[in-house]
């Protein structure tokens, strides 16, 4: 077999990062089981790379012997600026005739290599990636690609001490620390990406870093429909529930798209409602047209002081006169109790929970550690279950269910994996009755309303309108026209 037949190119594209052009090739080798994600820098020659390595060594030696001093109290921006000035001096020493554009390119590249996260910085700038993980210094860095799933990269971290250095640097920039006495750390990058780090011997094969990337372009209802994650009718039904202020819980496993669905549901909020969101790490992005106040929890400092918990923010949010409360994740009994109390006092609540089906969601909610009495559950109107098929990497809305008066779920829509579509399998009882009670709409009125919503959603998809702020304006106009008609 010829060499070219042993490799298949699955995907190829370019990234431009601080004027550095990076080629990305995703290839499958027929003697391997996992595709590879390979990066190469196009506009820096091999000779230039050799000289840059020499500059890097000289720069590192200056830092190590203390001839380049930076005060401990200096903030990261000040440190970066001092290093930038020193690197520029070294570049001009080795490239005396270099122009400003080229020198800026080389300075940015060396800063990324020396005081950034090295080639991980390149991976962070690829919007096609969702997760970046370092398992140890022996293995290559792994990434989770939106289209291709888990991939091995051609990026390796040189040593365990280098991985630990990256973890320490990330922790320092976000006010956290990781040490042998505290070998686990949750932190975030300045870009909003979530980071978990562990040190050996807790992770027995080496130091680890796991980065869950922040979605720079939030998912919208247009994206969900176009990717067949949800059907038009399913989306219209959620919109109807949100418009009528019914509370919704999104369930699913890790990586199934719970937060993405929560972001999609936020597309449907009316502009005259005050929305309070509560998260451990900011992941939600709401349209500019909405009246939105985001709140974020805070971990205690190294002395164990200053913690702001989810419960603290939940209780506080009720004093902020919210119309809608959005919660990143429900984990504990006290949080759930406050949320259900909020529902009973007239607030609409939206949140996520780890569970794989509607029935499993009920079991989780009514057993420790959450342990909500089953008779309280009907305050929650709808459960939307998200599912990730790990073989294909596709995310789908698996089930949409309502809660009956006895606390049991009535599954209205369910995903048919054989035909790859979300289908209605039961008529709604409670949701339609609740809407009729508060709005006076009868079955035919609701049917017409769902048809109108479906037509609007089809128009959004046809015109490929998937900017969250543009969609927010369209829904704001829709609600304004509705209120004028009344």
pLDDT at 190: 82
The pLDDT tens digits for 406-423 are: 999 999 999 999 999 999
Cβ-contact 115, 61 below 8 angstroms: no
Is residue 33 pLDDT above 80, yes or no? yes
pLDDT classification of 2: cutoffs 50, 70, 90: very low
Phi, psi of 99 (to 5 degrees): -90, 170
- Interatomic CA distance for residues 460 and 462, integer angstroms: 6
- Average of pLDDT values for 22-34? 91
Vertex 79: Cα angle to 78 and 83 (nearest 5): 115
- Interatomic CA distance for residues 142 and 100, integer angstroms: 35
- Interatomic CA distance for residues 131 and 123, integer angstroms: 9
Location of structure tokens 């040593």: 159
Residues 6+ positions from 407 with CB-CB distance below 8 Å: 362, 366, 374, 375, 376, 377, 378
- Average of pLDDT values for 304-331? 92
The pLDDT tens digits for 199-250 are: 999 999 999 999 999 877 889 999 999 999 999 999 999 999 999 999 999 9
Fold of 3-170: Beta-Lactamase (3.30.450)
Q: Read off the pTM.
A: 0.81
Domain ranges of the chain: 3-170, 221-485
- Interatomic CA distance for residues 24 and 302, integer angstroms: 40
Residue that wins the pLDDT comparison between 55 and 135: 135
Q: What class does CATH assign to 221-485?
A: alpha beta
The pLDDT tens digits for 147-196 are: 898 999 999 998 999 999 899 989 988 878 899 999 999 888 888 889 99
pLDDT at 73: 44
pLDDT at 445: 95
The pLDDT tens digits for 57-72 are: 777 676 654 555 555 4
């Amino acid at each position: 077999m010829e060499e070219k037949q042993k490799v298949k190119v699955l995907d190829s594209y370019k990234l431009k990062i601080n004027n550095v052009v990076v080629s990305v090739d995703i290839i499958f080798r027929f003697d391997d089981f996992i595709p590879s994600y390979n990066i190469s820098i196009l506009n820096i020659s091999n000779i230039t790379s050799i000289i840059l390595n020499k500059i890097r060594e000289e720069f590192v030696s200056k830092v190590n012997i203390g001839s380049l001093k930076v005060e401990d109290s200096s903030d990261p921006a000040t440190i970066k600026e001092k290093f930038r000035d020193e690197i520029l001096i070294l570049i001009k020493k080795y490239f005396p005739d270099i122009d400003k554009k080229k020198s800026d390119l080389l300075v940015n590249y060396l800063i990324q290599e020396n005081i950034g996260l090295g080639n991980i910085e390149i991976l962070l700038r690829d919007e096609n990636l969702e997760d970046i993980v370092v398992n140890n210094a022996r293995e290559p860095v792994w990434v989770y690609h939106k289209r291709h799933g888990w991939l091995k990269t051609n990026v390796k971290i040189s040593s365990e001490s280098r991985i630990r250095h990256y973890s320490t640097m990330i922790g320092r920039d976000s006010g956290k620390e990781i040490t042998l006495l505290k070998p686990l750390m949750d932190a975030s990058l300045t870009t909003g990406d979530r980071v978990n780090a562990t040190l050996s011997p807790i992770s027995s094969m080496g130091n680890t870093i796991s980065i869950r990337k922040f979605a720079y372009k939030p998912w919208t209802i247009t994206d969900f429909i176009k990717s067949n994650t949800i059907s038009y009718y399913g989306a219209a039904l959620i919109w109807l529930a949100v418009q009528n202020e019914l509370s919704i819980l999104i369930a699913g496993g890790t990586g199934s798209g719970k937060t993405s669905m929560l972001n999609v549901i936020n597309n449907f909020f009316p502009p005259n409602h005050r929305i309070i969101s509560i998260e451990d790490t900011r992941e939600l992005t709401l349209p500019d047209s909405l009246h939105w106040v985001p709140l974020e929890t805070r971990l205690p400092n190294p002395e164990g002081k200053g913690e702001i918990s989810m419960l603290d923010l939940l209780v506080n949010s009720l004093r902020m006169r919210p119309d809608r409360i959005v919660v990143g994740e429900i984990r504990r009994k006290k949080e759930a109790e406050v949320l259900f109390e909020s529902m009973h006092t007239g607030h609409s609540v939206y949140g996520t929970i780890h569970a794989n089906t509607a029935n499993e969601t009920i079991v989780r909610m009514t057993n420790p550690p959450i342990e909500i009495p089953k008779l309280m559950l009907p305050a929650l109107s709808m459960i939307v279950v998200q599912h990730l098929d790990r073989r294909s990497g596709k995310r789908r809305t698996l089930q949409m269910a309502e809660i009956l008066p006895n606390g049991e779920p009535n599954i209205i829509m369910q995903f048919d994996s054989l035909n790859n579509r979300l289908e209605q399998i039961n008529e709604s009882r409670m949701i339609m009755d609740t809407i009729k009670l508060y709005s006076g709409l009868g079955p035919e009125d609701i049917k017409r309303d769902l048809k109108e919503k479906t037509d609007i959603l089809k128009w959004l998809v046809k015109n490929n309108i998937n900017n969250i702020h543009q969609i927010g304006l369209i829904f704001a106009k829709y609600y304004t026209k509705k209120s004028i008609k009344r």
